[in-house]
Chain A
Amino acid sequence: MWKEKLPINCPPSSAKELDFEAYRILKSEEPNEDDFLPYVYLHPENERYKTLCEAYAISSFDSENNAIKAWKGALKRGKKIGSYITKVEISKTDGRNDFNPKSGHFSTWLYESKNYDTFECVNIKLIDAN
């Protein structure tokens, strides 16, 4: 059912199928499947996060502002995760989502049928850090 072998009780029961517009950071203007990999696959040998449910989800935000705020947070901590921002459509058939209304952050656990390279990116633009 799930794209990845998930930890037990993952995703949480609160995760729902949703249709929404989301904002995600891209490394370059030409998106590829690496731009949509869950955290756990950035460092597949790292044992620390193998049982952490959120590490198997892809992150996105409900607004451009919230996405840039998170990007700035990562930059301040020492990592430039990308230079571009895009809007993507996530649909009910893609997977289940947990939404944090306070930060506007979505965690999306993908169904097996959804591929990382099939997100249609629109309005790709360079992040304005100011």
Chain B
Amino acid sequence: MQINSKYRLQNFPLKLRVIRAFDFEIEPILLLEKDLIGNNFLSYLIFSDFEKEQRAYIQVSQERLNEILTNEISLNSAFEKPENEFIYIAEFSHNTGQTLDSFLVPVSLISEALVIPKNYVVNYEKPKNEVVLKENDLLDFSERKQKIVFDFYLQSQNLVNNIKPYALYKVFTPIIEIIKNMLEFDNRNADKYLAFSNLRQASFGITIELNYSHDLFFQKETTVIENLILLLNAQSKEDFETVLHNTKNDNYLKHYITIIKAIIDNNADLHTAYANPVTKDIKTNTLNKERAEIAKKIIDETLDVIEDVEEIKGTFLEIDIDRKEPSFKIYSFEDEFTVKGKFELSILDKVKNDFVNIGKETYVFQIKTLYFPETTLKSEEIKRYLIDYQKKSE
């Protein structure tokens, strides 16, 4: 198509990336492209010989895009009434993909030249599972946010109408706990390093935004999220050994076991994807019931008991040292929950001699948690022991 040179642009102002083809028959006819900040552009192939291709572009909102894809409005109408009244035409070299020429043209030129045939129908069938974010969309999102992003999507028949508590407490929260554990921060700093977006229902999807390093390289969070993907992907003893080798402790395994048990019990599929705005890496994983059962079998056969020691800042709620196995109940200020367990015998004298003020004084407790995985003979068991505590001065 010949275009009057008065419409010529010195430089094509859009830096676009091809995201998806809505019509690809022999050559790419109708494409979705995105600019650097994630705006959608529809591009239609006007001309193509063996040297170059010429494409017409309109910017479209998500709503307008949906209308076009469902043929509520025709592509021809969309180009005749572009939302922002601009139509670009760009020519690209077939050999290099570089822009050869570009124009900003009036709408009338497009309609008079019948650039988009009036009878052109978009033959695109939208995938049913759009709630799982497309990898390129996720990378765009991470680039816009300048953060590592980890997309979480849990799919199960029992989540179609609403989100059940297990999805939050036994899958999503444990994922967050694994991230916190591997990055070595607690709830006090959670708001600083984590944020959530793209909440989707039917089933349950959410994007976790992560910026721990607060720099341009995201080195530590990259290592951690890649290790998390390895963990969710692990299907052999060697896979688990690789993950364990990359981490300082194995405390996160108890959260991982909670996740795989919830997936098995609910016949759920956990789709996860990670995008890195620096390396442009995208990694995905799907953990379904079958894969979760394989992982659980390896964990149960390999690990007899998982030990974890954590510090909790809080107050005593109950102390019973007269029982055969003296017990305690404490309240965590940071996580706002109660923890019950038994005193380790070595600190019993200290407890007896201290004048502990229940419910008033603040302590830093050292709690040892022993997690016994489920076996064919017995169900899983968690035991907690108070191994030390220090009074926190006001």
Contacts and interface: CB of A to CB of B under 8 A. Distances in A.
B95 A78 contact: no
B28 A54 contact: yes
Interface stretch (B44-52, B160-168, B244-252, B356-364): B44-52
Contacts of A102: 121, 123
A81 B26 contact: yes
A12 to B, nearest CB: 7
B64 to A, nearest CB: 22
Nearest to B282: A8
Contact of B28 (A49, A70, A81, A103): A49
A24 to B, nearest CB: 10
A67 to B, nearest CB: 9
B28 A43 contact: no
Given A14-B127, A77-B45, A46 B25 contact: no
Contacts of A9: 134-135, 284
Interface in A1-40: 8-9, 12-14, 25, 39
Contacts of B50: 79
Interface string B279-310: 00010100000000000000000000000000
A71 B282 CA distance: 36
B49 A105 contact: no
Interface string A46-80: 11110111110001000000000011011001110
A45 B49 contact: no
A54 B21 contact: yes
Contacts of A105: 24-25
Nearest to B283: A8
Contacts of B25: 59, 70, 73, 103, 105
B123 A103 contact: yes
Contact of B136 (A45, A51, A81): A51
Contact of A74 (B21, B48, B94): B48
Interface in B1-39: 17-18, 20-21, 23-29, 31
B47 A77 contact: yes
Contacts of B84: none
Contacts of B45: 77
Contact of B97 (A46, A53, A59): A46
B96 interface: yes
B97 A48 contact: yes
B123 A77 contact: no
B117 to A, nearest CB: 9
A46 B94 CA distance: 6
A56 B141 CA distance: 25
Interface residues of A, number: 33
A100 interface: yes
B24 A25 contact: no
Interface in B314-350: none
B28 A55 contact: yes
A39 B97 contact: no
Contact of A78 (B49, B96, B134): B49
Interface in A66-100: 70-71, 73-74, 77-79, 81, 100
Nearest to B123: A102
Nearest to B92: A48
A46 to B, nearest CB: 4
A59 B284 contact: no
A13 B28 CA distance: 21
A107 interface: yes
Most buried by A among B25, B31, B92, B282: B25
Contacts of B27: 39, 74, 77, 79
A43 B48 contact: no
Given A46-B94, A77-B45, A102-B123, A70 B26 contact: yes
19 contacts: A8-B282, A39-B24, A39-B28, A46-B94, A48-B18, A49-B18, A49-B97, A51-B17, A51-B136, A52-B18, A52-B24, A52-B31, A55-B24, A70-B25, A77-B27, A77-B47, A78-B48, A79-B27, A100-B123
Given A49-B28, A51-B136, 10 more contacts: A13-B129, A39-B28, A43-B94, A45-B95, A47-B97, A48-B97, A52-B24, A55-B21, A55-B24, A77-B27
Per CB-CB distance, the 9 closest pairs between chain A and chain B, nearest first, are: A48-B97, A54-B24, A46-B97, A102-B123, A78-B49, A47-B97, A54-B21, A43-B94, A78-B47
